[in-house]
Amino acid sequence: MMKRKEFMLGAVAGLFFAAAATAGGAIDWPTAEAGPVAGVSGRLNASAGANGVAFAPPQGAPLSFADIFAQVSPAVVQIEVETRREAGPQDSLIQIPGLPFAIPNPNQGQQDEDGGVRGRGAGSGFFISADGFIVTNNHVVENATEITVKLADGREIEATVVGRDEETDLAVIKVEGSEYPFVSFEESAQPRVGDWVVAVGNPFGLGGTATAGIVSALGRGSLDSRTPYTDYIQIDAAINTGNSGGPTFDIYGRVIGVNSAIISPSASGGSVGIGFAIPASVAKPTTDRLMRGETIARGYLGATLQTLGRAEWRALGLPDDFKGAYVAEVTPGAPAAEAGLRQGDYMVSVNGTVVDGSTEATREVARVRPGDNIRLEIIRDGRRQTLNVRSGTRPTPSELAALNSGSGRATAPGQPPAAAGQVVEGLTLSAITPALRQRYEIPDAVTGVVITDVARGSAAAGERLQAGLVITRVDNKVVSTPAEVEAAIEAVRASGRPGVLLFIRAPQGGVPIVLPLSND
């Protein structure tokens, strides 16, 4: 289960990338074909009354998916991987919600002499050419030291990685040989909500499995910050652990998507009918480039952008229909900083394209080749300005995570919060001191005012604010003392706005919160 943030405003469902990760143990891969049933031969007659038309499918619905499965299943493969990665705290202990202590991790892999963790995983894939190129998910093979592909006819062949793209979660691997059965992406017709789909893959290591359903929704935005460039196809054909990298077919046997993730409320990752596939419109051009040996390079600003909702824009005194992305952070020395972009700017267009939030802005920047010019239109202090940025090369999600690894937990374990400072709107605030920075593990680069206590029953408590979080800006004004926070809040109150926008620094990054103001 993967949570968006430790600092959450509501319930979060589990999001699973559907690659199996089993720690040790051998798995017997069954084939996709079944033999004759013992003691049964000849034609089996339907029960009496089954020949009526009362239960005939509606016009346009297939009588069966058997022909489709027979047509495409030879191109679908099972993928078994041996993995190795650096050991982390999660490898020895896991925390069960509700328990005050951690327990040994039953899925812990075997540690080698160098301290790395070895394990096994399984996923799915499909041939995209006769000469052995196979499409799968990046997360299936990203830590693989050995890859074994099992074909529908039972053959097992070693494979190598040709190329990976973390930000679309796509990868291409290759086996030696030729004349493999392969399938093609659908490039012309777009699937519609309600269209039939068939998913074929390797759920729970069972292999050769087909599930059917419909397209449930289109254009599901980025499910995870690591994959910002994909609007997923949502399907209700059952996708489970191990289906990752397998194809989603239409009823003509064309690949419309690559199965990638599911939402599941349980730790097992079982299907509840909400699965996500990378659309062919994203998968084909990306995998074509990977097959040619190209590295996927995208434009880069070096700025953290946020999408604000109507309530947040309204709290800043802007109209509900305002369109733009909020510049939450600017990386020192990055292209955006060199061009003069500042924290607190509103980015309203990229190269002439109006952006409605961080996702649109990030995708427009990514379309630019590294080294080319990016024209940004921003609003700063109520005035429109244009900035010209020479694009850098966007780091991979792994590289970005390494750059941001200095953020700590909101509260050091075992230490009670220090309730000292000035009380403002139910928040006890203090300037960041070396002692508070150490207590709450606040990175050196973070500035602002730290929350040391929250009054029970206050509006702040209702917004899930807690000790250890840092207020970096109030009404888009930088603050460093409790007095500056109070003054900014009073200015908002005097303007007649019912709430003030706070920018909170949580361990995972900046979070905007609209704090309702009291009538005092």
pLDDT of residue 33: 39
Instruction: For residues 147 and 240, state if they share a domain.
Output: yes
Span 353-380, mean pLDDT?
90
- Domain co-membership, 274 together with 330: no
Tens-place pLDDT, residues 451-466: 988 888 788 888 878 8
How far apart, in Å, are the Cα atoms of 468 and each of 37, 429, 447, 483?
Answer: 65, 10, 13, 18
pLDDT: is 383 or 264 the higher one?
383
3 state SS of 348: strand
Is position 244 annotated as part of the catalytic site? yes
Same-domain check for residues 243 and 95: yes
Question: Is residue 130 domain-shared with residue 272, that is, in the same domain?
Answer: yes
pLDDT for 441: 83
pLDDT > 70? residue 61 = no
**One domain for residues 201 and 80:** yes
Number of domains in the chain: 3
Task: Check whether 375 has a pLDDT greater than 90.
Answer: yes
Query: What residues make up the domain containing 430?
Result: 422-516
CATH no. for residue 157?
Answer: 2.40.10.120
CA distance 429 to 141: 47
Residue 320 annotated as catalytic: no
Which of 353, 329, 325 minimizes the C-alpha distance to 342?
A: 329
Residues in a beta bridge with 76? 126
CB atoms within 10 A of CB 115: 8
Same domain, 368 and 445: no
d(CA 443, CA 436): 11
Question: Quick check: is 363 in a domain?
Answer: yes
pLDDT at 36 over 90: no
CATH number of the domain bearing residue 320: 2.30.42.10
Query: What's the mean per-residue pLDDT of the chain?
Result: 78
pLDDT interval class at 52 (50, 70, 90): very low
Tell me what pLDDT residue 135 has.
95
- Between 106 and 235, the more confident residue is 235
| Catalytic residue from among 91, 124, 165, 169 | 169
- The reply to whether 58 falls in a domain is no
| Banded model confidence at residue 411, pLDDT cuts 50, 70, 90 | very low
Largest pairwise CA distance in the chain: 87
Residue % of the chain over a pLDDT of 70: 74
Q: What is the pLDDT of residues 306-330, one digit of tens each?
A: 888 888 898 888 988 899 999 988 8
Model pLDDT for residues 127-144, shown as the tens digit of each residue: 999 999 999 999 999 888
Residue 211 CB burial class (10 angstroms; 0-12, 13-18, ≥19): buried
Neighbours of 61 (CB within 10 A): 9
Question: pLDDT band for position 224 (50/70/90)?
Answer: low
Whole-angstrom distance, CA of residue 165 vs CA of residue 172: 9
pLDDT of residue 49: 44
Identify the residue with better confidence: 24 or 437. Answer: 437
Angle ∠(388,330,338) on CA atoms, nearest 5: 40
394 conformational bin, left if phi > 0, alpha if psi -120 to 50, beta if neither: beta
- Return the residue matching tokens 């429109």: 384
Q: What DSSP string runs through 354-393?
A: E--SHHHHHHHHHTSPTTSEEEEEEEETTEEEEEEEE-EE
- Does residue 109 lie within any of the structural domains? yes
CA–CA distance, 209 with 201 (Å, rounded to integer) = 5
Please report the pLDDT score of residue 333 as a whole number: 85
Are 131 and 250 in the same domain? Answer: yes
- The one catalytic residue in 73, 91, 139, 391 is 139
Residue 126 lies in a domain: yes
Q: Which of 124, 216, 244, 271 is catalytic?
A: 244
